[in-house]
Amino acid sequence: METTLYIPPLGLAGQLGAPAGFEAVVIFAHGTSSGRKSPRNVRVAARLREAGFATLLMDLMTEEEKADPANQFDVHRQSERLLLAVRHLRATTDVERKPIGFFGAGSGAASALIAAGRAAEHDGVGAVVCRGGRPDLAEEWLNAVAAPTLLVVGGKDAPALDLNTDAFSRLHCVKALEVVPGAGRLFEETGKLDLVADSARSWFTTHLLKAANG
């Protein structure tokens, strides 16, 4: 079942896809110049729903904010909106106390990491996966992240590999760094995005469904 949500107070739009009997939810945080219709995130979300996860693909900025380039890397503001989405889901849908994870791409990875670091206990952020992320933008929050975190980087994306290797050393949670051989920044090569989806599914199955089942 798919439902359109409008996250208060700004009415940010989101698409909640909830398979019957789902036990955990993954909220997607997109990178700059992207939104809830990002084809790569839509594809990963579909794979996660096939595995039984609910997914929320949402916009992190209003149309007016998108028009100002200065807002593109405002990862702190976008992290606040991820947490607003968590609380909205818990208050108004059958997500209730189910575990929630974040999947962040590009600069959205920083937003996801900051949100995980800031999350209160009642928010229940249980796991994070970052694809081709910019964790350096969340540098001051990395040591506050308690949720198990997987960093996935393309083997051909040397700048991101350096940034993620450094961030990995700063994380103090359960963590893993996965390098996808032959993949570039956007994982556009044949089969590479599917490998990311498989890794995300495995990580969330281990860390979110484990929490759901006690």
Residue 9 — pLDDT band, cuts 50, 70, 90?
very high
Q: How far is CA 183 from CA 4, 49, 81, 114, 200, in A?
A: 33, 24, 30, 26, 16
Whether residue 14 contacts residue 65, with contact meaning beta carbons closer than 8 Å, is answered with: no
pLDDT digits over 156-173, tens only?
999 999 999 999 999 999
| Token duo for residue 114 | 């900051």
Q: What mean pLDDT comes out for the span 98-107? A: 95
Q: What's the mean per-residue pLDDT of the chain?
A: 92
Domains of the chain and CATH, by start? 2-212 (3.40.50.1820)
Residue 214 — pLDDT band, cuts 50, 70, 90?
low
Give me the pLDDT at residue 212, please.
61
| Token duo for residue 12 | 């940010």
Per DSSP, the three-state class of 31 is coil
pLDDT digits over 81-92, tens only?
999 999 999 998
